[in-house]
Structures are given as structure tokens and as C-alpha cells.
Amino acid sequence: MVGLIVYIEQACRNIRYRCKGRFFKLYLQLHGCKVGKGLKCMGFPKMRAVPKKNIVIGNNVTLGRHVVFEIGSEGKLTLGNNVLLADNILLSTISEIKIDDWAAIAENVSVRGSFHEMKKDKPYRLQGNVSEPIVLGEDTGIGAGCVVLMGVTVPKGVFIGSNSTVVKNIELVPYGIYGGTPLKLLKMRD
């Protein structure tokens, strides 16, 4: 009997996530964005800017609670097929963030493709922004609490351990497992 109750509860939860996904898909499509089949949203993602045909979401993507998209009008976000974004994720850029098929991002992760200029002649908040694309390759994993900064390309199969900071001047090897700040190769995937 307990097994039946658990099954019914999981089925109801799955229906609820798919319904939220359909509403979010409709919202994006009304703004000219492309969204594949099977989008699941555990909560409604927050949009810090109105999308303008600049978001592409593949099939069977799952978005957790408190996911924030901060994609500027000139920016672009691409989520491949079977991408998983857990809870409390920020994706922010004025250029491009591309997350390939089967990539997963754990909770409390910040992916920032842009930042303020840092010139000394005026306050930084009055300066423009600089931005570089971020690419997370196929079958990559970003651990809980990580920060991924502009200009980073994470190759296929790489896993980044929890609470790590990924900056562009680190060359990552495909299928490597990395961790720490500064980021270091811990071992290779078997």
C-alpha cells in the first residue's frame, strides 16, 4: 500500500512539473524563443530581462526551483537536450552561455558571462560591461556552490567539484575531474 501511495505522489509531482514547463515554454515561445519537448520546471524561472528570440531550450530539460535567467538583449542562452539545472542557479550574460546535451549543474551555482569594467578613472558601477562566451560541453557536471566566470569552456565529460571557481585561464582536459580554488585536476574519469 505504501508503494502505491509513493507512486501516486511521484506521478502527481511529475504532472505538476510538466504543467509548469508548458506554461514557461508558452511564455518563451510568445517572445520568439525556441523550446523543445518535455520541459520540466520545479518552479517558475525568473527572467531579469524580457527574452527577445535569444533563448533556445532542447528536449527533456529540467529546471529546478529559483533558476534565474539574466540574459541581456544582445545575449544568447542555449540549453541542449537532457540538461539539468538544479535549484538556485543564476545564468547571467550579455554575450552567450551554451550548455550542451546531458550537462548538469548542481544547486547554488553562478554562471557569469559578463562583469563590470574595472578602470580607475570612474566608479565601476558607472562603467560599461565586458563579456565573453561560456560553453559547458556535453556530459559535463558542475558541483554545488561553484562559480563559472566569463570566457570559460568546459570540455566534454569534465566534472567540477563543489565550491570551485572556474576561470578562463585554466586549461581543462576532457573527462577530467577538477576541484578547488584554484582549480586543480584531481583525476580522470574511468
Cα 29 → chain centroid: 19
Please report which confidence band the pLDDT of residue 39 belongs to, taking 50, 70 and 90 as the band edges: very high
Q: Which three cell numbers stand for residue 126?
A: 558607472
State the pLDDT at residue 183: 93
Q: Report the C-alpha gap between 168 and 170 in whole angstroms.
A: 5
pLDDT at site 6: 83
pLDDT for the residue numbered 116 = 84
Q: Is the pLDDT of residue 25 over 80?
A: yes
The torsion angles phi and psi of 48, rounded to 5 degrees, stand at: -85, -10
Q: Are strands 176-179 and 184-188 parallel, antiparallel or unpaired?
A: antiparallel
**What pLDDT, in 10s, does the model give residues 79-102?**
999 999 999 999 999 999 999 999
The 10s digit of each residue's pLDDT in 2-17 is 788 888 888 888 888 8
Ordered domains of the chain (ranges, CATH): 2-188 (2.160.10.10)
